[in-house]
Amino acid sequence: MDLQLRNKVALISGGSKGIGFSTAKAFAKEGCNLGICSRNETEIRDAKEELEELGVRVMAVQADVCQPESAKTFVEQSAKEFGRIDFLVNNVGGGIGGSTVVSTSDDDWISTFELNLFQVIRLIRLVVPYVSSSKGGAIVNVSSISGWLPQLSGSPQYGAAKAALIFLTERIALELVGHNIRVNTVSPSSIQNTRGWDQFKHQNPESFASYVKNGFPMGRLGYPEEIADVIVYLCSQRANWINGRHIPVDGLEQPIAVAERRPW
């Protein structure tokens, strides 16, 4: 299926590894040029080299999108390089701090909301003037299964921030209809080949096997490429009638708390 993305431009935050890098590769295979950022200079350089081998132009910026000036630099340098921005994928996120409400500090919550929500708002503000001039622009926010299915296997501040992101998506979609920009959320389940899950698998193989057996009807975790394919499709005109929606990509995961996280 030709998604008609050739020579368009996608910006991806956290584009050097994991879901972000897989999304960049999926865009590149469609002929879409890329602006990617990461805090890690080595990782972003290596990602740029691999992506350019797919025949597209890549603007790689070492940037921390939680820092306003750094986020601005990422967007402005990308816009200057390509002369346009068609798509934004807000991929940066993660959990910070304690694992229960009573064990977390105010700083845990503030930092987690900055990482998962506030920087998203900031990037959207920055790209709208560019994307609104595109014919059929789109924004995809990467949330999480934690944002719509309360569970003990994740931190409360992370789930709350991702839930806020799901709400924000529909609200911003309503605001940006007049700018011809669609906004959607993708919520992945637990994804293989990410640092936390790889550590869990190697440090507690029996617990990991039990978690997969009891929590994953399809018998495995998801893969970054499976999330990336949905993100790229949502940015294409093939998904033109999908707007303001929250789309779980979770393999029917049924989250369970491992024994040491249960209060019973």
The first and second tokens of residue 12, run together, are 């991806």
| 114 within a domain of the structure (yes/no) | yes
d(CA 22, CA 28): 10
What pLDDT sits at residue 264?
Answer: 44
- Residue 87 β-bridge partners: 10, 138
What pLDDT sits at residue 260?
Answer: 52
At 247, the amino acid letter reads I
| 4 within a domain of the structure (yes/no) | no
What pLDDT sits at residue 258?
Answer: 55
Q: Which residues touch 49 (CB under 8 Å, ≥6 apart)?
A: none
d(CA 230, CA 176): 21
Q: Count CB neighbours of 257 within 10 A.
A: 15
Q: Are 92 and 70 in contact (CB under 8 A)?
A: no
| 124 within a domain of the structure (yes/no) | yes
| 262 within a domain of the structure (yes/no) | no
Q: Are 91 and 23 in contact (CB under 8 A)?
A: yes
| 242 within a domain of the structure (yes/no) | yes
| 221 within a domain of the structure (yes/no) | yes
When divided into structural domains, the chain yields a total of 1
What pLDDT sits at residue 259?
Answer: 53
- Domain residue limits at 167: 9-250
Q: What is the CATH number of the domain that holds 48?
A: 3.40.50.720
Mean pLDDT by 10 residues, the chain (264 residues): 94 97 98 98 97 98 98 98 98 90 94 97 97 92 90 85 97 96 95 77 86 87 96 97 96 72 48
Catalytic residue IDs? 158
The first and second tokens of residue 149, run together, are 């299915």
The pTM (predicted TM-score) of the whole model is: 0.94
| 69 within a domain of the structure (yes/no) | yes
Q: Count CB neighbours of 156 within 10 A.
A: 23
| 260 within a domain of the structure (yes/no) | no
